[in-house]
């Protein structure tokens, strides 16, 4: 049997500090950390996405904050200047479709670019999330210290 001794004093101090922050600051720290850690995924997905005629899908891949949660969503954005409306079709493909007049519109085979990007970058992202959170907490502390000097 292997016995280990771990000093959790610093972790408890950090957890107590974090719990005293406002919800907005907590969300900012976590989402910025998530975004930084997820950069390899967004870059790989952009590289693997088909170029297409306009390149709209590649340009629209990125991350968005979830409104009422401490989380982000990574995928094709569909608002404003982003035109990733067809991202799900390229990823998953389509079933045979028929017009009301009876003519076929054909099918589109799935590419799976995003799933492949996720599978290849997940181990790195998982390891980087905690490091990025700590960096964001350090930045927050530095920013607050400058503010009150």
Mean pLDDT score of the chain: 84
pLDDT of amino acid 7: 57
Considering just the CA atoms, what is the radius of gyration of the chain in Å? 21
Place of tokens 């101090």: 13
Q: Is the pLDDT of residue 39 over 90?
A: yes
The pLDDT-based confidence of 11 (bands split at 50, 70, 90) is: low
Q: Alpha-carbon distance 59 to 51, whole Å?
A: 10
Q: Alpha-carbon distance 26 to 18, whole Å?
A: 7
The pLDDT-based confidence of 38 (bands split at 50, 70, 90) is: very high
Q: What is the rounded average pLDDT of the residues 36-63?
A: 91
Q: Alpha-carbon distance 68 to 23, whole Å?
A: 11
Q: Is the dihedral of CA 38, 43, 45, 46 positive or negative?
A: positive
Decide if 112 contacts 88 (C-beta within 8 A): no
Q: Is the pLDDT of residue 149 over 80?
A: no
Q: What is the rounded average pLDDT of the residues 62-77?
A: 86
**Model's pTM, two decimal places?**
0.75
pLDDT of amino acid 4: 41
pLDDT of amino acid 3: 44
């Amino acid at each position: 049997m292997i016995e280990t001794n771990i000093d959790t004093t610093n972790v408890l101090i950090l957890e107590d500090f974090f719990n005293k922050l406002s919800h907005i600051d907590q969300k900012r720290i976590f989402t910025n950390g998530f975004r930084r850690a997820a950069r390899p995924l967004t870059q790989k997905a952009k590289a693997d996405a088909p170029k297409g005629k306009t390149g709209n899908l590649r340009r629209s891949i990125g991350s968005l904050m979830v409104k009422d949660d401490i989380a982000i969503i990574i995928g094709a954005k569909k608002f404003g200047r982003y035109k990733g409306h067809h991202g799900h079709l390229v990823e998953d493909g389509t079933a045979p479709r028929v017009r009301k007049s009876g003519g076929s519109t054909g099918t589109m085979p799935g590419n799976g670019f995003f799933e492949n990007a996720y599978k290849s970058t997940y181990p790195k992202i998982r390891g980087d999330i905690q490091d990025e959170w700590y960096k964001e907490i350090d930045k927050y502390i530095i920013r607050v210290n400058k503010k009150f000097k």
